[in-house]
Amino acid sequence: MNKKIRQAKNINADVTVPGDKSISHRAVMFGSIAKGDTRIKGFLKGDDCLSTIDCFRKLGVDIEEYNDEIIVHGRGLHGLKKPEEPLYVGNSGTTIRLISGILSAQNFDTQLNGDASIQKRPMSRIIKPLSKMGACIESTNNCAPLKIHGGSLHGIEYTMPMASAQVKSSILLASLYAQNETTIYEPTASRNHTEIMLNHFGADITSENHTIKSKPVKELYASDITVPGDISSAAYFITAGLIVPYSHIIIRNVGINPTRTGIIDAYLQMGANIEILNEHTEGGELVGDIDVRYSKLKATTIRGDIIPRMIDEIPIFAVAALCAEGTTLVQDATELKVKESNRIVTMINELSKLGAVMTETDDGMVIRGSQELHGATVYSHLDHRVAMSCAIAGLMADGET
Q: Which residues are catalytic?
A: 312
Q: Per rule CB under 6 A, is residue 249 in the interface with ligand S3P?
A: no
Least distance (Å) between residue 163 CB and ligand S3P: 7
Q: Per rule CB under 6 A, is residue 282 in the interface with ligand S3P?
A: no
Buried b / exposed e over 38-67, threshold 16 CB at 10 Å, is: bbbebbbebebbbbbbbbbebbebebeeee
Q: Per rule CB under 6 A, is residue 311 in the interface with ligand S3P?
A: yes
Pattern of binders to ligand S3P over 327-366, x per CB under 6 A?
Answer: --------x-------------------------------
CA distance 308 to 296: 26
Helix 93-103 vs helix 47-58: crossing angle, to nearest 10 = 20
Q: Which of 32, 94, 104, 300 binds ligand S3P (CB under 6 A)?
A: 94
- Contact predicate 94/50, CB 8 Å: no
CA distance 144 to 354: 35
- Contact predicate 222/275, CB 8 Å: no
CA distance 182 to 12: 49
Q: If DSSP codes are grouped into helix, strand and coil, which group holds residue 380?
A: coil
Q: Using CB atoms, what's the residue nearest to ligand S3P?
A: 22
CA distance 174 to 161: 18
Q: Per rule CB under 6 A, is residue 38 in the interface with ligand S3P?
A: no
Q: Per rule CB under 6 A, is residue 166 in the interface with ligand S3P?
A: yes
- Looking at beta carbons only, is 40 or 376 nearer to ligand S3P? 40
Least distance (Å) between residue 176 CB and ligand S3P: 17
Q: Which of 28, 87, 165, 238 binds ligand S3P (CB under 6 A)?
A: 165
Q: Do the bridges between strand 220-221 and strand 34-41 make them parallel or antiparallel, or are there none, so unpaired?
A: parallel
Q: If DSSP codes are grouped into helix, strand and coil, which group holds residue 388?
A: helix
Q: Per rule CB under 6 A, is residue 190 in the interface with ligand S3P?
A: yes
Q: Do the bridges between strand 285-293 and strand 248-255 make them parallel or antiparallel, or are there none, so unpaired?
A: antiparallel
| Site residues (CB under 6 A) for ligand S3P, limited to 201-240 | none
Q: Per rule CB under 6 A, is residue 109 in the interface with ligand S3P?
A: no
Q: Per rule CB under 6 A, is residue 164 in the interface with ligand S3P?
A: yes
Q: Do the bridges between strand 109-113 and strand 12-16 make them parallel or antiparallel, or are there none, so unpaired?
A: unpaired
Q: Which of 195, 230, 285, 312 binds ligand S3P (CB under 6 A)?
A: 312
* Contacting positions for ligand S3P (CB under 6 A): 22, 94, 164-166, 169, 190-191, 311-312, 335
